[in-house]
Amino acid sequence: MKTKKIILLGIFIGIVNFSKAGIIRVVTTTQDTKSITEFIGGNKVDVFGIATGYQNPHFVDPKPSYIIKLSNADLFVTLGLDLEAGWSPSLLASSKNKKIQKGSDGYVDASVGIKLMQVPSAINRAEGDIHIFGNPHYWLDPDNGKQIAKNICSGLIRISPENKSFFEANLKSFDDKIDLKMKEWLVKMAPYKGTQVIAYHNEWCYFETHFGLKIIDFLEPKPGIPPSPSQLVKVIGEVNTNKIKVIISSPYFTTSSAEMVGKQTGAKPVILATSVGAFDSVKTYFDLFDYNITKLTEALK
């Protein structure tokens, strides 16, 4: 009887190990790349995204639990440039997982092949600029989402070549869905082409370019430097002169500066989702644009 139980337990553990062995464990730095990886990887992947959707991806507190996740990962996806430079490389090094270090098959830099905007001619970090390799908020253009998906797909194929056709089919349906939704998003944004707005942080240039908005200034005097009184005075002047109706902010910034400018000028602060998970209804990469375009068009009406 006892032997039978042990045999059954052995079979059970065997099954559990087998099913786990078939799943590709992925760690992404953000929820956006998590969403895209889940779309491409389907039931072949188990994805953990480090930064929550309402956290500033430039500043994430490294936790020991992230290192454990990375130690057990088969694939690591970073948005790259200097977006996560303050926290992700040290976590990766601490994981000591050779499979996912830079240059390994299990390392995906999602920025490969992205047409970068605002690439500075001279590196000057001393002034507090945290976009030293170009603007890293490129996932906020859905067309770039297709390139991110392509990079993730290539990474998945590298470590799981037997599932190549499965991942490629999912990539195709991801691209098709972006193309389909893009028509809808562009139609909604069309009446606001050329509309001037103010933003808190310089993270909307890809979105702005694709959807025809014009961000004329930021509450932050430089990316990563909190709004200063002199910058706010300058912005108030610009809002009044150009009759600007909307100040775009993000869930991780304090609302006081945008509200102050709003009170002085009548412009409306609007908190948009910069990542999947920023708000309860933003569950996927597609929801991100549905949410932002709905919020923006309501505010600009």
Q: Are the C-beta atoms of residues 51 and 29 closer than 8 Å to each other?
A: yes
Amino acid at 287: D
For Zn ion, give the closer residue by CB, 32 or 203.
203
For Zn ion, give the closer residue by CB, 203 or 208.
203
CA-atom Rg of the chain in angstroms? 22
For Zn ion, give the closer residue by CB, 133 or 166.
133
Q: Least distance to Zn ion from the beta carbon of 297, Å?
A: 24
Helix, strand or coil for residue 246? strand
252 Cβ contact list (under 8 Å, min separation 6): 54, 55, 56
Q: Provide the 10 A C-beta neighbour count for residue 22.
A: 11
For Zn ion, give the closer residue by CB, 141 or 203.
203
For Zn ion, give the closer residue by CB, 163 or 257.
257
Q: Where are the beta strands (DSSP E) in the chain?
A: 24-28, 45-49, 75-78, 107-109, 196-199, 214-218, 246-249, 268-271
Q: Least distance to Zn ion from the beta carbon of 223, Å?
A: 5
Q: Least distance to Zn ion from the beta carbon of 224, Å?
A: 7
Amino acid at 114: I
For Zn ion, give the closer residue by CB, 106 or 251.
251
Q: Least distance to Zn ion from the beta carbon of 56, Å?
A: 8
What distance in Å separates the CA atoms of residue 97 and residue 70, rounded to the nearest whole number? 7
CA triplet 90, 36, 72: central angle to 5 degrees? 40
Q: Least distance to Zn ion from the beta carbon of 232, Å?
A: 19
Interacting residue ranges for Zn ion, rule: CB under 5 A: 203
Q: Least distance to Zn ion from the beta carbon of 181, Å?
A: 25
What distance in Å separates the CA atoms of residue 35 and residue 174, rounded to the nearest whole number? 11
